[in-house]
Every structure is written in structure tokens, then in C-alpha cells.
Structure 1
């Protein structure tokens, strides 16, 4: 539960409320004003109109200072505080770096649980809501193996494949759920206990949607772009030709992510979606180790894993100090040199070197052949 919101968070939240989750309107407005506080003044209606903002959003700005609308907004703020452990806006140092390249990235994320998990290496596992027993077991096995190797498993908290992937990764306390509703509700409702277990075991539940946002059909494709955007690659474990998982794969392709598909019986409708993805160029896999190899992480990742002590399944991730989050977020699993990091972070080399040493002492980074590489975050 949040006690306070910063002025920047409040301004972002206000605009997000006014444009009702419209990323295009939000970005048009944000890019026009040097400060969001100026954008949400009632005197700005004509400026919004000149920017081509939708009439519904203009009306919301016009009405924003009416008593009934203010009451509605104050309720929204209180529910955000009530149901959120953290809020991330896309100008924050600890906003997930992997989402930054995308024009449609969510400007604000509401979350419960461990925010630092979003900075970790993630692989998405998605698939049918009504899988076969075989498909459910495959999803579970792949998620178990990859989470054991140190990856966080990212999925959408849906029934079927999503659920199996979350439950398997929970065994190693490494899973992240992206929701298509506000944090004040769980969809499907029978996954309330699963959601609670994710939060209580080092995982994270996030959404871009405000409280009181219901599970409308068009929200789930939006959720899927975050699932794929956060991840190094997307595994489709089992899917029919009409499965929503193919939309996630489409998002992943547009984002330049590697798509993996697990094949199945040629006469099974449950696997036709995966077979279509393979025909369209997805990578066929029949073992989770192939995911690590095909992401070109084998040498770096495996050498790092082998150099670190094996932890008990119950261990908790190391808390990243606030002043090191931006640097840790900038690091990846391929490696960057000191000069590149200095330019990206706009920091002096001497300060950067000191911070890199701190990360290394915490077991969060290492140096290989002059390149600085992120390590998995665990004790």
C-alpha cells in the first residue's frame, strides 16, 4: 500500500485518468508540454483540440474540476494507493529498461510485490486457456527449468498455459504476472490465490490499467504487448489457430523479440497455432535449454550461473540500492564497455567505476574481457 504519490506521479496519473488509457493521446499531450502539470489545467482545452485529441478526452478535461468528477478522481487516487505497492512512470530509473524502445510503452505501471523483479531477465510463456494435459505439463516443465536457471517467467495470469507457467516458476520464486484489469480485481477470479502466492514469493503483479477497469476483451491484446515487451523471448507452449497467444507472438515479432513454438501432434487442433508460427519463422524447440542457446545467451549466462553459488529455493533476491538501480537497469547479459555506460547514464567514469564495483560486490554484475555484464539477482 502506498502512502504518498510524488508530484510527477500524480501529474502522470491525472493525465492517464483524463485520457482513459489512450497512449496516443497521452503522448501527443506530453510531447507538447514541458511539464505535465501545465497540460492538465482547464485552460488547455483549446490546445488539446489543436493537438487532435479525441472529443471525449476534451470533455473530460473540461469537466475535470466539477465536484462530482473530482470526487471520482479522488476515489481513483485512494484506490491506487490502496492496491499498489509501487508505481513506475517511464521517466523513473527503475522503470523496466526493456520497454523503453517502444512508442506504445505504458507511461505508468501499477504494481504489487517486488518491483526489482521487473529488472530481471524474463522469458514469456503463453498459450491456450484450455490446453491439453500434455500442453499444460510442457508449459510447467519449461517454466520450471528456465526459472531454475535464473530467469523470471512472465505471463498473463490467464487460465491454462499461463497458470501452469506461473505455478512452475513459483517453485523458484521467479514469476511476473501482467494483468488486463485494474489491481483492485483479479481475472479470472479463481486465480486470486495464485496471484497472492506470486506476490508473497518474490514475484510481481503489474498493470497499466487504473482501478475499477474491468476485464474487457480489448484490454488483453494491450496486456500482451507488455508481456512480450518485458521478455527476452516468447514461448508459445500450445495454441489453436484462433488463440490469443498468436497475438502475443505478433506483438513479439513487431518488437523484434525471438518467438519460440513447441510442436505437437499433427492432427491436434491444440497445436495448429504453434505449427503455423513455425511455418511463419518461429523457432521450433523441444527442450528449454534451446531457448537459452538460441537467445545467444549460452556462454554469458551459463558461465555466470556456474560461477555463482547455488541457492536454496527459498532464498530472496538481493535488494538493489536506490543509487544503483539506473546502472543495473542499463546493464544486460551481453555486455557493455565503460565508455558506453558513461554516455548512456551521463555519469563520470570515476563514479561509474565505483558503482560497478558496488554491484559486483553485491553479486549483481561482473566483468568479462572489459565488458560489464548483469548477473541474476539472488543471494
Structure 2
């Protein structure tokens, strides 16, 4: 259960409640008010109108301080406290830095389990809800291999390919589920035991949705952008031409993520979606190590080091900001876990994650298979 909220968390949740998960309205209002608390004064109704906020959200704002709406909001807060182990705002140091570049990132993430898992190297495995036995086995095998290599396997807790990927990664305690509902419920309901296994084995279950949010059809593409956004790359294990996993692949490509597709028999309807992705530019893979090589050894990184090894030109001196130098000095070329770095730097996980994120944004460090190492 989550301890009491900070003032800023309450403001984020209040606004998220008022705009009912609307990213457009949320970011308009947050950008306008230097202190979000000021957005909720009754006198600000006209300002919300000028910002072009949807009429439904304006109506909720107008009614917010009625006894009925206040009771609903307080009930929502209690539900979040009961169902969440952590709440991450997009301004928190512990918020997954891989989501920050996206304008449609979730401003708030509700989570259960191990929040540190979200900061680790992840690969998404997605596919059909009704796969062939062969497809489920392939998804299981790929997830088992990649989680054994140190990657967290990210998926949507759905039936079929998602389930197989989660179960395989449980063997190495490295899996994350992104929900298309509030955390007070499980969808599909028969995956309640699987969800508990994820939480009991070092994983995390997260959602951007408030409690009592039902599994509506349009929620799942929203969920999929988080699945792909958290991940280094997306593997489509098996998909028909109408599979929702093709939406995930499309979103991943738009995010600049590497999309992989596993081929199958040319006459099999189960694989037509994967074949379509390959025609459109997805990388064909028939072994999980191929994904590791493409994601962990980018061509630019290899070329830069190969070029420097073949010349006598001295590299340019690094310009490491003073406040990052002590953490940078602890990094090497083979990689270290967050726990190891926390011991060597004597920093808590939140502060260390924030500094590592700055090093990554500066091009001085990168994450590989759950470890941090130098880029230069």
C-alpha cells in the first residue's frame, strides 16, 4: 500500500481525474500554470475555457467542489493508496527516462511491485491473443533467452503471446506488465494469478489509468505506446493481419524503436501480420541473440570505436559536468548494475537514477541488459 501522497502527487491526480486521462488537456493546463495547485481555483474556469479545454472537462471542473464529486475524488485517492505501491510523476527522478522524449508520455504512472524494474533494459514481446501452439512456444523461448541475458520482458498481460512471454521471463524474475485498466482490477480476470506471480518475483505491474477504469477498446492502443516506449525494441512473435500487436509495432516505429518480426509458414494465417511487418521494414529474426546484437551493439557505436582504433588521432577530452563526474568515474566499458553503483557512490537509488539519466542524455552513458556503462 502506498503511503500518503505528496502535494504535487495530489495535484497531478486531481488534474488527471478532472480531464479523465486526456493527455492534451492535462499538458495544456500543466504548461499554463507554473504551480499546478493554482489551476484548481474556481476563478480559473475562464482560463480553462481560453485554453480550449473540452466541454466535458470544463463541466467536471465546474462541478468538482460539489459534495458528490468531492466524495468521488476522495474515494479515488483511497483506491490508489490501496492498490498502488508507487506513483511516478513525469517530473520524478525515478520516472522511466526512456519515456521522457515522447510528447504523449503518461504524466503519471500507477504501479505495483518493483519500481526499479522500470529503469532496467527492456524488450517488448507482443503478438496475437489467440496464437498457434508454435507461436506460444516461440514467444516463450525468446522471452526465456532474453530474460536470461539480463533483459526485462515487457508486455501487456493479455492472453496468448503476452502470457507466454511473461511466464518465461518469470523464470529469471524479469518481467513487467502494462495494464489497459486501473490497477484495482485485472484484465483478463483469469490472469490474476499471473499478475501476482509477476509481483512476487521482482517484477512490476503499471498503468496510467485511474481506479475503476474499465477495459475499453481504445485503452489498449494507449497501453501499447507505453509497452513500446519503455523498451529498447519490440518483437512481434506471431500475428495475424488483424492483430492488435501490429498497432504496437506501428507505434514503436513512430517512436524510433527497432521492430523485429519472427517469420513463419507462408500459408499460415497466424504469421501473415509478421510477414507484413517484414515487408514494411521490420527486422526478420529467427533467434533472440539477433535482437541482442542489433539493440546492444548499434552500428554507430561500433563504427566510432572501430575508427578510433585504426587511427592515431587522440580523442577529444570529455566535458563531464562537475556534479556528474563522481558517478561517471565509477562507470566502465563492461557495465555495472544500479545496486553496485549505489554501493560505490553511496547514493540512494532515486538520486543515482537521476544522475545516470543526465549522463545518458549527455551521451556519456547507456543502459545495456540492466547495466550502466560508458559511451565514450
* Equivalent residue number for residue 53 of structure 1: 53
* Equivalent residue number for residue 349 of structure 2: 321
Taking the aligned partners of 2:371 and 2:234, their CA distance within structure 1 comes to 25
Q: Show CA shifts across 1:50-77 (max 9, x none).
A: 0100000000010000000000000000
Taking the aligned partners of 1:258 and 1:320, their CA distance within structure 2 comes to 32
Gap runs ≥5 in structure 1: 310-318, 342-362, 372-379
Asked if the contact 1:111/1:205 (under 8 Å) is kept, the reply is: yes
Taking the aligned partners of 2:182 and 2:85, their CA distance within structure 1 comes to 13
What is the DSSP-based 3-state SS (H/G/I as helix, E as strand, rest coil) of the residue aligned with 1:106? coil
CA separation of 1:224 and 1:366: change in aligned 2, threshold 3 A? closer
Asked if the contact 1:121/1:152 (under 8 Å) is kept, the reply is: yes
* Equivalent residue number for residue 357 of structure 1: none
How many positions carry a matched residue from both structures? 334
Shift of 1:175: 0.3
Asked if the contact 2:93/2:350 (under 8 Å) is kept, the reply is: no
Shift of 1:295: 1.7
Query: Relative to structure 2, which stretch is displaced further, 288-297 or 212-221?
Result: 288-297
Asked if the contact 1:144/1:171 (under 8 Å) is kept, the reply is: yes
Gap runs ≥5 in structure 2: 303-331, 338-346
* Equivalent residue number for residue 193 of structure 1: 193
What is the DSSP-based 3-state SS (H/G/I as helix, E as strand, rest coil) of the residue aligned with 2:202? coil
1:223-372 alignment, distance < 5 Å: 223-297=223-297, 321-332=349-360, 336-337=363-364, 365-367=372-374, 371=376
Shift of 1:294: 1.3
Shift of 1:139: 0.3
* Equivalent residue number for residue 28 of structure 1: 28
* Equivalent residue number for residue 130 of structure 2: 130
CA separation of 1:166 and 1:182: change in aligned 2, threshold 3 A? same
1:199-210 alignment, distance < 5 Å: 199-210=199-210
* Equivalent residue number for residue 180 of structure 2: 180
Shift of 1:364: 5.5
What is the DSSP-based 3-state SS (H/G/I as helix, E as strand, rest coil) of the residue aligned with 1:295? helix
TM (norm. structure 2) is 0.84
Taking the aligned partners of 1:331 and 1:199, their CA distance within structure 2 comes to 30
Q: Show CA shifts across 1:273-294 (max 9, x none).
A: 0000000000000000000111
TM (norm. structure 1) is 0.84
Q: Show CA shifts across 1:271-323 (max 9, x none).
A: 0000000000000000000001112437999xx998889xxxxxxxxx96332
Taking the aligned partners of 1:54 and 1:204, their CA distance within structure 2 comes to 34
Taking the aligned partners of 2:117 and 2:359, their CA distance within structure 1 comes to 15
Asked if the contact 1:149/1:305 (under 8 Å) is kept, the reply is: no
CA separation of 1:94 and 1:208: change in aligned 2, threshold 3 A? same
CA separation of 1:364 and 1:242: change in aligned 2, threshold 3 A? closer
Q: Show CA shifts across 1:121-171 (max 9, x none).
A: 000000000000000000000000000000000000000000000000000
Q: CA RMSD in A?
A: 2.3
Asked if the contact 2:364/2:374 (under 8 Å) is kept, the reply is: no
